[in-house]
Amino acid sequence: MKRISVLLADDNPTFLRIAALFLEQQPDLDVVCKAGGGKEAVAQSVSLRPAVAVIDLNMPDLHGLEAIPQIRARAPETGVVALTHEFVSKNTMHTDLVPTIRRVAGSRKAKVSGERSEVRGQKSEVRGQWSVVSWSVVP
Protein backbone atom coordinates (compact mmCIF):
# COMPACT_ATOMS: atom_id res chain seq x y z
CA MET A 1 0.00 0.00 0.00
CA LYS A 2 1.40 3.38 -1.01
CA ARG A 3 1.47 5.82 1.89
CA ILE A 4 0.02 9.33 1.57
CA SER A 5 2.55 12.01 2.56
CA VAL A 6 1.00 14.74 4.72
CA LEU A 7 2.29 18.16 5.74
CA LEU A 8 0.62 19.67 8.84
CA ALA A 9 0.68 23.45 9.34
CA ASP A 10 -0.60 25.20 12.45
CA ASP A 11 0.81 27.80 14.83
CA ASN A 12 -0.54 25.77 17.78
CA PRO A 13 2.18 23.30 18.86
CA THR A 14 -0.35 21.25 20.85
CA PHE A 15 -2.46 20.74 17.74
CA LEU A 16 0.58 19.76 15.68
CA ARG A 17 1.68 17.19 18.25
CA ILE A 18 -1.79 15.64 18.74
CA ALA A 19 -2.67 15.61 15.04
CA ALA A 20 0.71 14.16 14.05
CA LEU A 21 0.46 11.40 16.66
CA PHE A 22 -3.04 10.52 15.47
CA LEU A 23 -2.26 10.63 11.74
CA GLU A 24 0.94 8.62 12.12
CA GLN A 25 -1.18 5.76 13.55
CA GLN A 26 -3.03 5.50 10.24
CA PRO A 27 -1.53 2.73 8.08
CA ASP A 28 -1.63 4.78 4.87
CA LEU A 29 -0.60 8.24 6.15
CA ASP A 30 2.93 9.57 6.67
CA VAL A 31 3.40 12.99 8.33
CA VAL A 32 6.46 14.37 6.56
CA CYS A 33 6.46 17.85 8.13
CA LYS A 34 4.94 19.82 11.02
CA ALA A 35 5.11 23.47 9.98
CA GLY A 36 4.62 26.13 12.66
CA GLY A 37 3.20 28.75 10.29
CA GLY A 38 2.03 29.61 6.80
CA LYS A 39 5.42 30.71 5.45
CA GLU A 40 7.04 27.47 6.57
CA ALA A 41 4.10 25.50 5.11
CA VAL A 42 4.64 27.07 1.70
CA ALA A 43 8.42 26.54 1.77
CA GLN A 44 8.15 22.93 2.97
CA SER A 45 5.37 22.12 0.46
CA VAL A 46 7.67 23.28 -2.34
CA SER A 47 10.64 21.38 -0.91
CA LEU A 48 8.93 18.13 0.16
CA ARG A 49 6.05 17.93 -2.37
CA PRO A 50 3.61 16.13 -0.01
CA ALA A 51 0.48 14.54 -1.45
CA VAL A 52 -1.66 16.64 0.94
CA ALA A 53 -1.01 19.77 3.02
CA VAL A 54 -3.31 20.24 6.03
CA ILE A 55 -3.33 24.01 6.69
CA ASP A 56 -4.86 25.99 9.56
CA LEU A 57 -6.56 29.08 8.17
CA ASN A 58 -5.74 31.38 11.10
CA MET A 59 -1.97 31.70 11.44
CA PRO A 60 -0.21 34.96 12.35
CA ASP A 61 2.75 34.93 9.95
CA LEU A 62 0.83 34.03 6.78
CA HIS A 63 -2.92 33.39 6.83
CA GLY A 64 -3.98 30.03 5.42
CA LEU A 65 -6.04 31.73 2.71
CA GLU A 66 -2.82 33.40 1.54
CA ALA A 67 -0.68 30.27 1.92
CA ILE A 68 -3.07 28.00 -0.03
CA PRO A 69 -2.80 29.78 -3.42
CA GLN A 70 0.99 29.96 -3.01
CA ILE A 71 1.14 26.21 -2.37
CA ARG A 72 -1.19 25.54 -5.32
CA ALA A 73 0.98 27.69 -7.62
CA ARG A 74 4.37 26.38 -6.48
CA ALA A 75 3.49 22.74 -5.69
CA PRO A 76 0.47 22.02 -7.93
CA GLU A 77 0.57 18.27 -7.27
CA THR A 78 -0.11 18.89 -3.55
CA GLY A 79 -3.74 18.75 -2.46
CA VAL A 80 -4.77 21.09 0.35
CA VAL A 81 -7.12 20.60 3.30
CA ALA A 82 -7.90 23.88 5.10
CA LEU A 83 -8.86 23.79 8.79
CA THR A 84 -10.95 26.13 10.95
CA HIS A 85 -11.85 26.08 14.66
CA GLU A 86 -15.65 26.07 14.34
CA PHE A 87 -18.43 23.44 14.57
CA VAL A 88 -16.34 20.50 15.73
CA SER A 89 -16.94 17.16 17.41
CA LYS A 90 -14.30 15.31 19.46
CA ASN A 91 -14.12 12.64 16.74
CA THR A 92 -13.18 15.01 13.93
CA MET A 93 -9.81 13.44 13.18
CA HIS A 94 -11.34 10.02 12.60
CA THR A 95 -14.63 11.07 11.04
CA ASP A 96 -13.55 14.10 9.02
CA LEU A 97 -9.81 14.72 8.73
CA VAL A 98 -8.50 11.26 7.81
CA PRO A 99 -11.19 10.56 5.17
CA THR A 100 -10.73 14.07 3.74
CA ILE A 101 -6.95 13.59 3.42
CA ARG A 102 -7.61 10.34 1.58
CA ARG A 103 -10.22 11.96 -0.71
CA VAL A 104 -7.99 14.95 -1.51
CA ALA A 105 -5.03 12.67 -2.27
CA GLY A 106 -7.28 10.54 -4.50
CA SER A 107 -8.74 13.53 -6.34
CA ARG A 108 -5.24 14.91 -6.99
CA LYS A 109 -4.24 11.55 -8.52
CA ALA A 110 -7.36 11.67 -10.71
CA LYS A 111 -6.46 15.19 -11.89
CA VAL A 112 -2.88 14.16 -12.69
CA SER A 113 -4.15 11.22 -14.75
CA GLY A 114 -6.55 13.50 -16.62
CA GLU A 115 -9.80 12.26 -15.06
CA ARG A 116 -12.46 14.68 -13.85
CA SER A 117 -13.43 14.11 -10.25
CA GLU A 118 -15.66 15.85 -7.72
CA VAL A 119 -15.51 14.44 -4.22
CA ARG A 120 -17.86 15.37 -1.37
CA GLY A 121 -17.81 14.62 2.33
CA GLN A 122 -20.22 15.22 5.19
CA LYS A 123 -18.39 18.21 6.66
CA SER A 124 -15.87 18.74 3.91
CA GLU A 125 -15.98 19.36 0.23
CA VAL A 126 -13.24 19.01 -2.32
CA ARG A 127 -13.75 21.56 -5.08
CA GLY A 128 -10.93 21.39 -7.53
CA GLN A 129 -7.91 22.38 -5.49
CA TRP A 130 -8.66 22.32 -1.75
CA SER A 131 -11.11 21.38 0.98
CA VAL A 132 -12.35 23.06 4.18
CA VAL A 133 -12.81 21.04 7.36
CA SER A 134 -13.93 22.28 10.77
CA TRP A 135 -11.38 21.60 13.50
CA SER A 136 -10.51 22.16 17.16
CA VAL A 137 -8.20 20.87 19.84
CA VAL A 138 -10.00 19.93 23.05
CA PRO A 139 -7.70 20.25 26.06
E-strand ranges in the chain read: 4-9, 29-35, 52-56, 79-84, 119-120, 125-127, 130-134
Question: Three-class SS of residue 69?
Answer: helix
Q: Strand, coil or helix: what is 19? A: helix
Considering the domain boundaries, does residue 51 fall inside one?
yes
- Asked whether residue 54 is domain-assigned, the answer is yes
CB 112 within 8 A of CB 77: yes
Q: How far is CA 104 from CA 12, 14, 132, in A?
A: 23, 24, 11
pLDDT value at position 135? 40
What's the number of domains the chain is made of? 1
Q: What are phi and psi of 40, to 5 degrees?
A: -65, -35
In a domain, 139, yes or no: no
Residue 67 included in any domain: yes
Q: Per the domain annotation, does 24 fall within a domain?
A: yes
Q: Is the pLDDT of residue 90 over 60?
A: no
87 vs 71: CA distance, rounded Å: 26
| 81-85 mean pLDDT | 75
Report, as an integer, the average pLDDT of 10-28. 92
pLDDT in tens, 108-136: 554 443 333 333 333 333 344 444 444 43
pLDDT digits over 24-61, tens only? 999 999 999 999 999 999 999 999 999 999 998 888 89
Judge whether residue 137 has pLDDT over 50.
no
Domain with 52, as residue range(s), is 4-134
Number of CB atoms found within 10 A of residue 83's CB: 27
Domain assignment present for residue 97? The answer is yes
Q: What CATH number corresponds to the domain at position 119?
A: 3.40.50.2300
